[in-house]
Amino acid sequence: MADIKHFDPDATLDTVVRLFWRQGVATTGIQDIVTATGLNRSSLYATYGGKQELYRAALERYVQDRSRLGLLEEDDRGLPAVTDFFTRLIETRCTGEFAGWGCMISNAHAGTENGDPAVRAVLDRQHQRLRTALHAALLSARRQRQLAEDVDPDSAADVLALLAHGVNLRSRAGADARQLHRTVTAAITAVARRP
């Protein structure tokens, strides 16, 4: 007879995502997870495995539920799409319920958890997806004659992807949204065709 769970594993994982996202892996202990979820250790271990397995599941859930790259991937306006992507990113990171939490993916890039090969695979996959979306937007910008002639879309996509991670990390550290907007505007202006 199968073991009957007396809790909702999906709701529990959502709680754990918020905990790891806000606090990070290094400062989140099993007792923190027990307290946040109201479950005992044996239920957590039986359902998810150890803390590292739980973190991996939370990271995948974060990507599934929180990634907003689809908006950029589907937008063919070129540089206005890139500008809107960064505007939404800064607004999300600096206002509302999750202000100051950064991005769970960027946070993991900067943390010790990236030493886990399974975590590294998620981080690399998401970075590549971000870079690919930005690259496609830059190619669209080139077709629409929005890019400066000497701008290499490959290199510019790399720079903008790193800038997105920087926005995420700086917002977690309390950076001012206006300063982040100024930095992003400078980066986009640097690749734009001059009038």
**Are 125 and 30 found together in one domain?**
no
pLDDT digits (tens, 9 = 90+) for 62-90: 999 998 898 899 999 999 999 999 999 99
The reply to whether 86 and 48 lie within a common domain is no
CA 156 to chain centre: 19
Instruction: Provide the pLDDT confidence category of residue 9 given band limits of 50, 70 and 90.
Output: confident
C-alpha 91/C-alpha 127 separation (Å) is: 20
Mean pLDDT computed over 85-96: 97
Q: Chain-wide mean pLDDT for the chain?
A: 93
Domain boundary among 63, 85, 106: 63
Q: Which domain holds residue 89?
A: 67-191
Share of the chain above pLDDT 90, in %: 83
| Together in a domain, 160 and 185 | yes
Examine the domain organization and report whether 71 and 150 are in the same domain: yes
75 and 57 in a common domain: no
pTM as predicted: 0.90
Please give the average per-residue pLDDT across 150-179, as a whole number. 97
Shared-domain flag, residues 32 and 75: no
What CATH number did the domain enclosing 36 receive?
Answer: 1.10.10.60
The whole-number pLDDT of residue 195 equals 83
Neighbours of 21 (CB within 10 A): 21
What integer pLDDT is reported at residue 67 of this predicted model? Answer: 87
Q: For 56-59, which contacts have Cβ atoms below 8 Å and span 24 or more sequence positions?
A: 56/116, 56/118, 56/119, 56/122, 57/13, 57/16, 58/13, 58/16, 58/17, 58/20, 58/21, 58/104, 59/20, 59/104, 59/105, 59/108, 59/119, 59/122
